[in-house]
Chains A and B, each alone.
Chain A
Amino acid sequence: MKRLYALIASAILLLIAIVLPPLPFTVKSYDYVFVLDITRSMNVQDYSDKHGGAISRLEKAKAAMLHAARSLPCGSKVGLAVFTERVPALLYSPIEVCNDYPILEASIHALDWRMAWVADSNIGQALYNTRELMMNDVLTGSKLVFLTDGHEAPPINPRYAPDFSYLDTEDQKEDWKAGIIIGVGELGLSKIPKFDEDGVQIGFYTAEDVPHASRFGLPADPSKVEGYIPRNGPWGTAKVVGTEHLSSLKQDYLMELAKQNHMLYHHLENNADMARSLQNVDFAYQAKQPTHFNNIAAALALLLLLYCYQPFRKKWSI
């Protein structure tokens, strides 16, 4: 008799497996906007690909972004923006990472430093403006992934750094996170490629090409400036030569920015680590994803069927 009931139960379970509609089930999802630095210093080739050839920070960041998008669970969304100087440009608001992956792939491949509409880079201001952009209606709820090497060109005057506390809102929770800053580049100094107007590389930036200290506004403490002349030389008269024509990842600066902006920091070394850093619970939100439970019913039905035919039964029923 047991086996008769088992067979009937198995039939009912199979029926359930056939007609059960997908049920809404809570899963972890992510919603990101990738904002990529496309200033000149991103052309520095201080990463190497898997064959050992040199690749630029920009190419490395693009590959890492694609890898990260691929490893997010389906239902997560990724939007794309670029920044140069102090202004970000949104290319599209977040799109689904599984269905719309071909579009993500095509557009990330097409990212290029030549999209830059102006040439300076002012990372702090750009981050400020990007966070302001994130408050736009079409980006509500998205987290920011800010990929940059942190190289300010020309050097900034710290007196005029933006005050990020203006961006805090009142209903913001204590442990709220705005997103993550991804530091792109190596810690050692490298040469920055220089291009002509047709985009052909004509060498590297030299010390004569770039200013090595901030000349903007007024110095914080004039008495410390050598050769200070209030009107004609507020930044002194001495020629300053530094290493601003070379570029490295400014990790400490980016960490400081991350702290002021309620963001995390991650140094991009390999794609898989960055993908993992984006699957941080701080960034996840709970989404209802239609999920199929039909296979569970079918699996139970199978177990019952196997029970009916299990070969270790007593041969003689009493």
Chain B
Amino acid sequence: MNLAFHLPWLLLLLPLSLLPFFSSLFDRHATPSRQLIKLNPLTIWLNRLIKLAASLAIASVIIGLAGLHSLEQTVTRTGQGAHIVFVLDRSASMNETFGGQTPDENEQSKAQAARRLLSEFVNRRPHDLFGVAGFSTQPFYISPLTEHKSAIQAAINSLETPGLAFTNVAKGLGMGLSYFKDQPHTGSRVVVLVSDGAATLDHRAQKTLREWFERYRVSLYWFFLRTENGQGIFSEPKSHRDDNPKVMPERHLHKFFNTLSVPYHAYEVDTAESLQAAIAELDELESLPLIYQEKLPKQSLSAWCYGLALFFVLLLVAVKFLEKRS
């Protein structure tokens, strides 16, 4: 057990606990002759015990005031869970509805639907670590893998705010994967790509992503927020001429993800309900045994000190009550 004090300088008051040995709790009474008082060992020891009790009472109040506490400790536990990194698309089109329009009062945009459901999902998974990365034309680091739920929610809140420029999936995924660089390998590792568009990946990007997915053993979920009548992951080309990444980036990105050596699940989501179903499936699939560190917060021991002091003071009250009064 590691102990520490909030205000260690208060311990300078500790010598005050010696006061009972220099003065007495009881009134002095004059006696005509010393012979009348019998000094027996029992009274001598009782007197010493009373002084000791007072001394301990004073000392423990001082120690309590100095803020005795046990330090924060980390305990390793095993549970079910995952390390999940959300890679969020912050491109401008995320602010439209699934119907491809500017949302009015009764509708919600793709970003808002995603925000609400992701935030519920985070609350449902107590032991998971979550990280958040965003991307539009450039990736940006939002929050590291952490168990601080309030911070994760705050990062997901950013989906509420206006989107930026274009959709550069490769850089976003790269940023998301980089979160696993220094993480211990335990439980499931998941990257959840939430986007409403795709982009072509050049060879350099493909090679890097393939390498990183293999190195970090991260499974990939793609929640594709499909706009009505827009192209989807599973759209079939009408002619051979259309079957290329420039015309159908979603289909080809999906093909590329399928060639990765890690588990990959794609969900085409075109309503808020289907997004919920996709998240429920992720919830079910990603629960490998996870070794996680639980932090036991520092615990104040002041109350125990005061309790001890109270015990001794009550003793003193009893003794003082029994004192012979003149």
Residues of A with Cβ closer than 8 Å to B? 3-4, 7-8, 10-11, 14-15, 17-18, 79, 82, 87, 89-96, 99-100, 102-103, 106-107, 110-111, 114-118, 133, 136-138, 294-295, 298-299, 301-302, 305-306, 308-311, 313, 315-317
Query: Across the interface, do A309 and B23 meet the contact criterion of CB distance under 8 Å?
Result: yes
Query: Across the interface, do B320 and A79 meet the contact criterion of CB distance under 8 Å?
Result: no
Query: Across the interface, do A95 and B30 meet the contact criterion of CB distance under 8 Å?
Result: no
Residues of B with Cβ closer than 8 Å to A? 16, 19-20, 22-23, 25, 27-28, 30, 54, 57-58, 61-62, 64-65, 67, 90, 132, 134, 136-144, 146, 148, 150-151, 154-155, 157-158, 160-162, 164-166, 302-303, 306-307, 309-310, 313-314, 316-317, 320-321, 323, 326
B166: chain A residues within 8 A (beta carbon):
117
A298: chain B residues within 8 A (beta carbon):
61, 64-65, 302, 306, 309
Give the Cβ gap from A48 to chain B, nearest Cβ, in Å: 27
Report the bound CA distance from A250 to B309 in whole Å. 63
A308: chain B residues within 8 A (beta carbon):
25, 54, 316
A118: chain B residues within 8 A (beta carbon):
137, 165
Query: Across the interface, do B138 and A114 meet the contact criterion of CB distance under 8 Å?
Result: yes
A14: chain B residues within 8 A (beta carbon):
61, 306, 309-310, 313
Apart from A309-B22, A311-B19: 17 A-B pairs, beta carbons within 8 A: A3-B25, A4-B320, A4-B321, A7-B316, A18-B303, A89-B158, A91-B134, A96-B150, A103-B144, A117-B166, A118-B165, A295-B65, A298-B64, A301-B313, A302-B65, A305-B57, A311-B23
Query: Across the interface, do B306 and A92 meet the contact criterion of CB distance under 8 Å?
Result: no
Closest to A297 in B: B306
The 8 listed contacts between A and B (C-beta, < 8 Å) are: A7-B317, A90-B158, A92-B151, A96-B150, A103-B144, A106-B143, A107-B142, A302-B58
Report the bound CA distance from A89 to B16 in whole Å. 59
Report the bound CA distance from A313 to B19 in whole Å. 12
Name B19's contact: one of A3, A100, A310 (CB within 8 Å): A310
Name B157's contact: one of A87, A92, A110 (CB within 8 Å): A92
Report the bound CA distance from A148 to B269 in whole Å. 40
Query: Across the interface, do B317 and A103 meet the contact criterion of CB distance under 8 Å?
Result: no
Name A116's contact: one of B134, B138, B314 (CB within 8 Å): B138
Closest to A116 in B: B138
A315: chain B residues within 8 A (beta carbon):
28
Known A-B contacts A93-B158, A138-B160; the reply to A310 vs B90 at CB < 8 A is no
A17: chain B residues within 8 A (beta carbon):
64, 302-303, 306
A107: chain B residues within 8 A (beta carbon):
141-144
Query: Across the interface, do B313 and A11 meet the contact criterion of CB distance under 8 Å?
Result: yes
Query: Across the interface, do A89 and B90 meet the contact criterion of CB distance under 8 Å?
Result: yes
Give the Cβ gap from B285 to chain A, nearest Cβ, in Å: 27
Known A-B contacts A15-B310, A117-B164; the reply to A305 vs B61 at CB < 8 A is yes
Query: Across the interface, do B155 and A91 meet the contact criterion of CB distance under 8 Å?
Result: yes
Which 8 A/B pairs are nearest by Cβ-Cβ distance? A110-B141, A117-B137, A92-B154, A93-B157, A14-B310, A92-B155, A309-B19, A103-B151
Closest to B22 in A: A311
Closest to A312 in B: B23
Give the Cβ gap from B81 to chain A, nearest Cβ, in Å: 19
Known A-B contacts A4-B321, A79-B154; the reply to A305 vs B313 at CB < 8 A is yes
